């Protein structure tokens, strides 16, 4: 464990020949966390912005800390584990007394960015033959997952319409005009 209690860190790295800046996730021994390292290297290879790589590295740091705290291996994750990770992201910080239940620790947009990084990680590894990643991606329904996780001050499943992705990646239409961008809907 690091002095500040963290078990995983994000480090900036600089390529010796090109000077290109990137980021990686390391464990207590400063060994790169291999699943994250491979995915972040892929993001650099497809020329994602260093800011995007840093943001995704920060998200993956949180995810791998969560997995480590619950003694779950990267290749043993189930969709329920990701749902519990989302709940943990939405929970108030430790030691905080909640007065307004509608306030959470992180904004929905931040939680969604963390989820995008995690599902991007599993999409990447699914394309490279990691069995659990394939199962997660085929079984995952992004909005269904999000609706199943209670938000502070809301009942589970009360967020409105859902648009889902089929295993082939085609998006099904939303059930509510508000999610299609139709501003005339009530």
> How many domains does the chain contain in total?
2
Q: How far is 185 from 17, CA to CA, in rounded Å?
A: 55
Looking at the fold, whether 62 and 117 belong to one and the same domain comes out as no
As a whole number, mean pLDDT of residues 95-120 equals: 80
pLDDT given for residue 6 in this prediction: 75
Of 71, 101, 123, the residue at which a domain comes to its end is: 71
Looking at the fold, whether 161 and 120 belong to one and the same domain comes out as yes
Looking at the fold, whether 41 and 113 belong to one and the same domain comes out as no
- CB 29: neighbour CB atoms within 10 A? 5
Looking at the fold, whether 45 and 90 belong to one and the same domain comes out as no
Residue 20: domain span: 1-71
C-alpha 9 chain-centroid distance = 16
Looking at the fold, whether 66 and 77 belong to one and the same domain comes out as no
Q: How far is 105 from 103, CA to CA, in rounded Å?
A: 7
Q: Looking at the whole model, is its pTM more than 0.95?
A: no
Q: How far is 48 from 15, CA to CA, in rounded Å?
A: 15
Looking at the fold, whether 79 and 130 belong to one and the same domain comes out as yes
Three-class DSSP category at 120: helix
Looking at the fold, whether 77 and 11 belong to one and the same domain comes out as no
Looking at the fold, whether 105 and 90 belong to one and the same domain comes out as yes
- CB 139: neighbour CB atoms within 10 A? 11
* Alpha-carbon separation of residue 53 from 11, 30, 43, 130 (angstroms): 11, 19, 7, 22
Looking at the fold, whether 171 and 132 belong to one and the same domain comes out as yes
Which pLDDT tens digit goes with each residue over 6-51? 789 999 998 888 888 899 999 999 999 999 999 999 999 998 999 9
Looking at the fold, whether 82 and 102 belong to one and the same domain comes out as yes
* Alpha-carbon separation of residue 77 from 18, 83, 136, 142 (angstroms): 36, 11, 8, 16
């Amino acid at each position: 464990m690091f002095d500040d209690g963290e078990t995983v860190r994000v480090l900036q790295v600089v390529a010796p020949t090109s000077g290109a800046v990137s980021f990686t996730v390391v464990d207590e021994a400063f060994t790169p966390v291999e699943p994250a390292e491979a995915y972040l290297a892929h993001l650099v290879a497809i020329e994602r912005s260093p800011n995007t790589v840093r943001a995704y590295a920060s998200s993956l740091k949180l995810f791998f800390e969560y997995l480590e705290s619950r003694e779950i291996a990267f290749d043993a994750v189930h969709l329920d584990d990701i749902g519990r990770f989302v709940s943990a992201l939405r929970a108030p910080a430790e030691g905080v007394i909640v007065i307004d239940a509608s306030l959470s620790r992180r904004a929905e947009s931040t939680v969604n960015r963390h989820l995008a990084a995690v599902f991007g990680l599993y999409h990447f590894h699914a394309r490279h033959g990691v069995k659990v990643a394939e199962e997660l991606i085929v079984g995952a329904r992004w909005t269904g997952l999000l609706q199943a996780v209670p938000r502070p001050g809301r009942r589970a499943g009360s967020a409105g319409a859902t648009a889902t992705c089929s295993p082939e990646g085609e998006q099904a239409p939303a059930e509510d005009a508000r999610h299609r961008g139709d501003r005339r809907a009530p």
